Each structure stands twice: as structure tokens, then as C-alpha cells.
Chain A
Amino acid sequence: MSAADAAAAGLDARRIDLRINGRLIVDGVDCTVAAGTFSALIGPNGAGKSTLLRVLAAVDRPEAGTVRFGPDDLFALSRRQRARLVGFVEQDSGTELSLSVREVVALGRIPHQGFFGDATAEDHTVIESALDAADVRALAERDVTTLSGGERQRVLLARALAQQPRLLVLDEPSNHLDIAAQLAVLGLLRSLASSGVTVLAALHDLNLASAYCDHVIVLRNGVVFAAGPTAEIITPRLVRAVYGVRATVLEHPQTGRPMVAFGPLA
């Protein structure tokens, strides 16, 4: 593979193992996310999605396996280099500190700054454009502890964007949000992917995954059950096999994308 191919290759994880308290949670997972695409990681509760995401976001080191992004082995890089390459948005993350929204977004500049953390003109430019990109400029002076769930999620996304990551990993970014906020966040991720960022998000809602994602990776019991283009993966057979639920897959009347209608439990 030439250097150019590698640079275009996006996220490439091979044979990832991770144990928690002796139990194998992630078992030999291979997965890829092409550069500049938006992929969903789906699967039932307890499948190991969050554990796998922490490895793919280079937060937790796996026991075995490699995680590459483009030409780089993520765990061979320094912590700061990694943090400039990969942004991670946790599920339900919060703080007790009454930081302003702009101060929270400024935290994303830490991996780009020296020990004394003096903000340069470039830092300010990046912070302002992250505020715009995540649509939180109107909240910039607000106290982050007073925001609604949807607002806070967008602020944390802006913090990750201030890292100027090439890879963005998110754990259930639409959790606990109302439908408008869910669509806003996923629309934002979609447009980030279009602008060249590689995006991987764990999602519970198969319809949201179908509507917004290029590819889907299905995790069950710590192994990849299926992976591929959304329309090929989201099928009645798969929903039945993975979730034990009967479903019909329709075509969305406006977008033409797959749409899942669930039958009652047998």
C-alpha cells in the first residue's frame, strides 16, 4: 500500500481484544471506517460497543491488536499527537464546574498548546469556528452546567472539534435528546464527514443510523456480526438475528433511505 492509499484509508483496527475484570468484552474485532465517511456502530446492550469505542478513540489501550488511522499506529504516537488526531465525545459526560461554553470548547486546544497553555490567535480562530460548526455560538457565554442535554451534547462536540481531529468517535451522541436535537446532532456529524472528518458513532436507533450513516458495523457479544454499506446491512434478517425482533425494512418516502418498522415481540 502506498503512502497516499494509507492516508486515504481512514480508521483500520485489527484483531482487537479487551478484557474487563477477566471477561473478554471485545473479542478479536476487525473494523474499518473509510476516511471522510460516517459509520454507525450498532448492537444490543452489553455487546461491547462502548468498550470498543474507547479503544478506537485511542483512550484505552487494547490487550491485543492494532488501531491505525491513515499511516499512523495510534498507540505508537505520543499522547498529544493522538489527541490532535482523534476527538472523543463520551456518553452523558458532565462537569460540576461552572465553566462558560467558550471555556469548555477552549479545553479542546490543550493538545495543541504548550505547558503554560497560552492561547494564540490561531487557538481563538479555531475555538470560534468550532462554536459555529456545532451551532453553539449563541450559548458561548452561558454556564455549561445550566444547559439542556441537547445543548451540552453540541458543546462537547464543539470541544472535540476544537482539537481539529481527523477522526471523531462518539458514544451514543443522540442519547436522551429530543427528536429535533437528535436530527441536529446527526446532521452535523453528516456534514463533518462530508468535509473530510472520519466519523464513527455508537447509535441505538436503527432508523437514525439508516438515515445518516454511510456504513454500519454490527457488534454482538464482543464480535463483529456484520459490517458494510447501510442498505445492505439493515435487513429484517439481521434485525431478527441480532436483536431477536421482527422488523420490516421500508424505503423512506422522502429520502429513499432504509427505514425500519418493528413488529410486536412474538
Chain B
Amino acid sequence: MSRATRSILLGVALAALLLISVTFAITIGPAHITPVDVWGSVLHHLGFGHSPLSLLRDGIVWQLRLPRVLTAAAVGAGLALSGAVMQALTRNPLADPYLLGLSSGASLGAVAVLLLGVAILLPLAAFLGAILALGLTLLLASSLGRITPSRTVLAGIAVSSLAAAVTSLVIFWTVTGDSYREILGWLLGSLAGARWPAVGIGFAAILIAGLPIILSGRILDAFAFGDTAATSLGINVPGARWTLLAATALLTGAMVSVSGSIGFVGLILPHAIRLLVGPRHRPLLPLSAIVGAIFLIWADTAARSLFDPRELPVGIVTAIIGAPVFALLLTRRRSAT
């Protein structure tokens, strides 16, 4: 079977699996709800028929679990897409969407507004933090000379460390009692607070930034042999690079603003998909998005149900799964080269 046929079959199968995952993840939790109840409730709220559930349990589906699962899907898809783009643009298959200081910048912005007591501005502050950090990273990288992937990565590490240090300083000086737990949960990555506004932010980001990225597969392919090769294939290299970086910053910033920083999704998933369908970006990007959505739905379901009634930050779950997989990928790479 050719790689192309396999990609299409895999895409159809994964899309079905995503729908099933959304349905079943909603049924899991202390209140007993069946898959039929889930769809009954959803159809009722879309204006078809009556909800099979009591008002309270219908609220659990429509107000709590459904928005949380949909947010997990959007965040997972967004992070996986961002990861795939960063890996292509830095020509480093183990690059991360947080590589260019995006996550630490977003965290700094978020922590700042949480402490100022204006939590309503959190998404905006996280997004601005991410953009500022990205800008600082690229400024630093260009001041070192021509912007190269390795310079960009090194500059990203410097900016990340700085933003993380300032975040720690702010927390150390100002945080007391209750807000500490809230901020810690957010820094570790959590979907506990995800309601319909989070779904809105997540899906808007997918629509505005994610879809254009998914459609740019052929352009990212042209970067396989570096900037010069892309130029000689007729690609506007600076234009494509800046547009895609900005889209990635928007996507990551939006996701961090609703969920905190959740590691390893963007790092691991595109790599795993590459093993299945090869490195061409036209299949890689949409498949990464779907698998990212499925993965984060189940990671978050585990995070909220494993130690019920206590909840884990989902970032801990993805790290516990992701770190060993990452180590495995590293050793595979060593044996390959």
C-alpha cells in the first residue's frame, strides 16, 4: 500500500476514533452517563428533541464535561500542529512548540494577571506574553547575525530561562495561600477550568492559525533541504518563515492561555506520525492534529479520573507518558545515524 493511500485510510480511521473518544471521555466520571445520554444531551442543546438526562446531569454533560473534552481536543490538535511546524522550520525533528520561549512568555503573562487579580484578561496576557517572547527570541537570534535554526533555538533557550526566572521571582514575592495552588496548577498545565469560552478560544485559534498551517504542507516540504533549497524551489523563504512562525505563536499562545503549558504533545506526536506515514507535511499536519486531539482528550480524562476526587494537572500526565517516549525516540535516532 502506498504512503498516500495509507495516509487517507489512517485519516478516516483516526477521525472516527476522535468522535468516539469525545463521546466516551464524556461518559467517564463520578456521575453515571452513557454514550446515548451524551448525544441526546448534545442534540437537545442543538435544538433537536429533549435531553434524556435530569437537569443536573444534563448540566454536567453540557456545562462541564463537553466543553472540557472539546478544549482538550483543540489544545491537543493545536500543540501537535505547532510542534510539526517548529520541527520543519528549525529542521530539527525533536523541536518543540515551546522552543522559542513561547510557553515561558505566556506563563509570565498569565501569572502576572492572576496576581493582579484580573483573571479575565488571562488569555490575552498569555497570548501577548507568548508573542513578546517570540519577538525577543527572534530579535536576539538576528542580532547574532543571519537567523539560522540553531541560533534561533539557542536564543529561545535564553529567553525561556529569563521569562521562567521572572515568573518564579513574581510568585516568590507575592503569592500567598490560595492563589498559590491556582498558579501552580496553571503552570503545570491543567484543563480543570475549561468551559465554553475556552472552547471558543481554542477553536478560533485552530480556525485562524491552524487551518492555514495545515494547508501549507507543500511549503514546509520545500524546507526539507534548508533555506537555500527552498529559495531555489521558488519559495519566499523569509515570508513563509515569518508567516508560519506568527501562526504558530498565535496557536501556541491561545492554547497556553486556556490550559497552561502542557509539554510533550507537540514534541512527540508529529514524530510518531512520521514513523507511520513518512515525513511529507500534507499528510503529517492534519494527522498530527487529529492524533493530538485524541491523545490530549484521554490524557486529561486520566488526569481527572485516576485519583478521583483529586485531580492531577494534565501536564504531569503528558510528561509521564511523553518523557519515556522521547527517550525512546532519542535512542532510535542514535541507532539510525
Query: Which residues of A does B touch, CB under 8 Å?
Result: 21, 54, 57-59, 79-80, 82-84, 86-88, 90, 93-100, 103-104, 107-108, 110-111, 113, 115-117, 145, 156, 160, 163
**Contacts A96-B92, A97-B279, A99-B279; is A163 near B233 (CB within 8 Å)?**
yes
Contact present for A54 and B279 (CB under 8 Å): no
The distance in angstroms between the C-alpha atoms of A113 and B221, with both chains bound, is: 13
Please indicate the chain A residues that have their CB under 8 angstroms from the CB of B232 in the complex. Answer: 57-59, 83, 86-88, 160
Query: Smallest CB-CB separation from A111: which chain B residue?
Result: B234
Whether, in the assembled complex, B44 has its beta carbon less than 8 Å from a beta carbon of chain A, the answer is: no
The distance in angstroms between the C-alpha atoms of A108 and B221, with both chains bound, is: 11
Contact present for A54 and B222 (CB under 8 Å): no
B233 to chain A, nearest CB (A): 5
Please indicate the chain B residues that have their CB under 8 angstroms from the CB of A156 in the complex. Answer: 225
30 contacts between A and B (CB under 8 A): A57-B232, A58-B232, A59-B231, A79-B236, A80-B234, A82-B234, A88-B229, A90-B225, A90-B226, A90-B229, A95-B91, A95-B226, A96-B92, A97-B224, A98-B274, A98-B279, A100-B278, A103-B278, A107-B233, A108-B233, A110-B218, A110-B221, A110-B222, A110-B233, A110-B235, A111-B233, A117-B221, A145-B336, A156-B225, A160-B232
Please indicate the chain A residues that have their CB under 8 angstroms from the CB of B278 in the complex. Answer: 98-100, 103
The distance in angstroms between the C-alpha atoms of A110 and B232, with both chains bound, is: 10
Whether, in the assembled complex, B282 has its beta carbon less than 8 Å from a beta carbon of chain A, the answer is: yes
**Contacts A99-B224, A99-B278, A116-B218; is A93 near B229 (CB within 8 Å)?**
yes
The distance in angstroms between the C-alpha atoms of A48 and B336, with both chains bound, is: 36
The distance in angstroms between the C-alpha atoms of A191 and B125, with both chains bound, is: 62
Chain B CB within 10 A, most for which of A21, A79, A80, A97 = A97
The distance in angstroms between the C-alpha atoms of A111 and B219, with both chains bound, is: 10
Please indicate the chain A residues that have their CB under 8 angstroms from the CB of B221 in the complex. Answer: 107, 110, 117
The distance in angstroms between the C-alpha atoms of A94 and B337, with both chains bound, is: 13
Please indicate the chain A residues that have their CB under 8 angstroms from the CB of B222 in the complex. Answer: 107, 110
Chain A CB within 10 A, most for which of B231, B235, B274, B282 = B231
Q: How many A-B residue pairs have CB under 8 A?
A: 82
The distance in angstroms between the C-alpha atoms of A94 and B224, with both chains bound, is: 8
Contact present for A79 and B91 (CB under 8 Å): no
B63 to chain A, nearest CB (A): 40
The distance in angstroms between the C-alpha atoms of A103 and B277, with both chains bound, is: 13
The distance in angstroms between the C-alpha atoms of A84 and B232, with both chains bound, is: 9
Q: Which residues, 181 to 231 on B, are CB-close (under 8 Å) to A?
A: 215, 217-218, 221-222, 224-226, 228-229, 231
The distance in angstroms between the C-alpha atoms of A54 and B226, with both chains bound, is: 14
Contact present for A90 and B235 (CB under 8 Å): no
A79, A97, A160, A163: the one within 8 Å of B235 (CB): A79
B335 to chain A, nearest CB (A): 12
A138 to chain B, nearest CB (A): 19
Please indicate the chain B residues that have their CB under 8 angstroms from the CB of A58 in the complex. Answer: 232
The distance in angstroms between the C-alpha atoms of A80 and B228, with both chains bound, is: 14
Contact present for B236 and A90 (CB under 8 Å): no
Chain A CB within 10 A, most for which of B218, B234, B274 = B234
Whether, in the assembled complex, B266 has its beta carbon less than 8 Å from a beta carbon of chain A, the answer is: no
Give me the 10 closest cross-chain CB pairs, A-B, nearest first. A83-B234, A117-B218, A111-B234, A97-B279, A88-B232, A80-B234, A79-B234, A95-B224, A110-B233, A59-B231
Contact present for A110 and B234 (CB under 8 Å): yes
Please indicate the chain A residues that have their CB under 8 angstroms from the CB of B274 in the complex. Answer: 97-98
Whether, in the assembled complex, B123 has its beta carbon less than 8 Å from a beta carbon of chain A, the answer is: no
Whether, in the assembled complex, B78 has its beta carbon less than 8 Å from a beta carbon of chain A, the answer is: no
Q: Which residues, 60 to 108 on B, are CB-close (under 8 Å) to A?
A: 91-93
Chain A CB within 10 A, most for which of B92, B233, B280 = B233
Please indicate the chain B residues that have their CB under 8 angstroms from the CB of A94 in the complex. Answer: 225
Q: A83-B233, A98-B278, A110-B235 are in contact. List 13 more A-B contacts (CB 8 A).
A: A21-B145, A57-B232, A59-B228, A79-B231, A96-B93, A97-B224, A97-B279, A99-B278, A100-B278, A104-B224, A107-B222, A110-B234, A145-B336
The distance in angstroms between the C-alpha atoms of A156 and B217, with both chains bound, is: 21
Query: Smallest CB-CB separation from A171: which chain B residue?
Result: B228
The distance in angstroms between the C-alpha atoms of A250 and B228, with both chains bound, is: 39
The distance in angstroms between the C-alpha atoms of A39 and B197, with both chains bound, is: 64
The distance in angstroms between the C-alpha atoms of A93 and B222, with both chains bound, is: 13
Contact present for B229 and A115 (CB under 8 Å): no
The distance in angstroms between the C-alpha atoms of A79 and B235, with both chains bound, is: 7
The distance in angstroms between the C-alpha atoms of A16 and B130, with both chains bound, is: 42
The distance in angstroms between the C-alpha atoms of A208 and B254, with both chains bound, is: 57
B251 to chain A, nearest CB (A): 20
The distance in angstroms between the C-alpha atoms of A58 and B234, with both chains bound, is: 10
Please indicate the chain A residues that have their CB under 8 angstroms from the CB of B228 in the complex. Answer: 54, 59, 88, 90, 93
Please indicate the chain A residues that have their CB under 8 angstroms from the CB of B231 in the complex. Answer: 59, 79
**Contacts A100-B278, A110-B218; is A95 near B234 (CB within 8 Å)?**
no
The distance in angstroms between the C-alpha atoms of A82 and B92, with both chains bound, is: 29
Please indicate the chain B residues that have their CB under 8 angstroms from the CB of A145 in the complex. Answer: 336
